Amino acid sequence: MTARHLPDTRTPVIEVTHLSKHYRDVPAVDDVTLHVQAGQIYALLGLNGAGKTTLIRMLLGMIAPTAGTVRVLGAAVSAGDRSAWARTGYLVEAASAYPELTVRENLEVIRRLRRLSGTADDIIERLALAPYADHSARTLSLGNLQRLALAKALIHAPGLLILDEPVNGLDPAGVAEIRTLLADLAHQHGTTVFLSSHLLAEVARLATRIGILHHGRLIGEHDAGQLDHHRRRHLRLATRDDDTAHTVLRAHGYRPEPATPNGLLLTDQHALAQPEQVATILVHGGVPPTELHLQEEDLEAFFLRTVGSSPQTETGNGTRAEDA
């Protein structure tokens, strides 16, 4: 069955089932199963070499999986079958354009190839490319070239956008613009967005769901709104005599750990909820705090901790040939 209509919210727009791609003995993508629902912004997060581009190329039928299946918009994807390309907007690998053609001419080429009526003016406006519309692509900055690539991906108002590292090369203002554009597409137009990135802090502000890919494996999936629950928090304190402070706190049932280069860390829920009680105990114990503050792991630290504690990282050194 190849249903060509946009599925409703109960049908995943992307269904990846036990998908693998091995290059000789390197499992670039290793037994990944994931679902993306309509209207979701799903971010596939991973370090360089995690397998993001390989997975995206399989979503688009650009390469054949070693094992597993992909369904996009209700239809099975197979290598060489370009139907997925026609129904989605995509940006894979480095942004490219005809260097001698202007921005407008580049977009006109795509508009005609896609047999779209009208002009490219709307999309030029939308991607803030108007000031460069008559500049040849070879003179564009990396950021504007990326913007042009996104314009090409969006020109036919696709229901699904698949973007490999879409904010690569953009300055902070460009990143913010793209974030607003993608959020608007998802929230106002119901566009489903699947994107890859290596920046958790960036995608956490945009994505509704985040999948963490590491050495080809999907090692975690989180609703973006739930990420805060996974971030570690601790109370950091210092005194003039940390050994005594340690003894005093243990006597009150806390489990302090030494901090570097000095001071103590408390992760007890009670300490996190009521740091003022910790301060009172230290004052009464004769070791008043010289420093006391609640610290929260930032998103990048959370991400690095997550991939750092995955089995592949603990047992391997980045090359996994011995596992294959």
Question: Which residue ranges make up the site for ligand ATP (CB under 6 A)?
Answer: 23, 26, 28, 46, 48-54, 198
Q: Least distance from C-beta 211 to ligand ATP, angstroms?
A: 12
Closest of 237, 234, 227, 235 to residue 300, by C-alpha: 227
- φ, ψ of residue 266 to 5 degrees: the values are -120, 130
Q: Least distance from C-beta 319 to ligand ATP, angstroms?
A: 8
Q: Least distance from C-beta 311 to ligand ATP, angstroms?
A: 17
Tokens 């001071």 correspond to what residue? 263
124 and 148 in contact (C-beta within 8 Å)? no
**88 or 196: CB nearest ligand ATP:** 196
**48 or 269: CB nearest ligand ATP:** 48
Q: What is the largest CA-CA distance in the chain?
A: 79
**113 or 321: CB nearest ligand ATP:** 321
Q: Given the DSSP bridges, would you call strands 14-23 and 192-197 parallel, antiparallel or unpaired? A: unpaired
**19 or 235: CB nearest ligand ATP:** 19
**66 or 136: CB nearest ligand ATP:** 66
**49 or 169: CB nearest ligand ATP:** 49
Whether a cis peptide bond, with omega within 30° of 0, leads into 99 is: no
Q: How far apart (Å, rounded) are the C-alpha atoms in residues 108 and 125? A: 14
Percentages helix, strand, coil for the chain, rounded to the nearest 5?
Answer: 40, 25, 35
**What letter does residue 35 receive in the DSSP assignment?**
E
Closest of 92, 83, 71 to residue 16, by C-alpha: 71
Q: Least distance from C-beta 317 to ligand ATP, angstroms?
A: 13
Q: How far apart (Å, rounded) are the C-alpha atoms in residues 128 and 312? A: 43
Q: Least distance from C-beta 168 to ligand ATP, angstroms?
A: 9
Q: Least distance from C-beta 195 to ligand ATP, angstroms?
A: 12
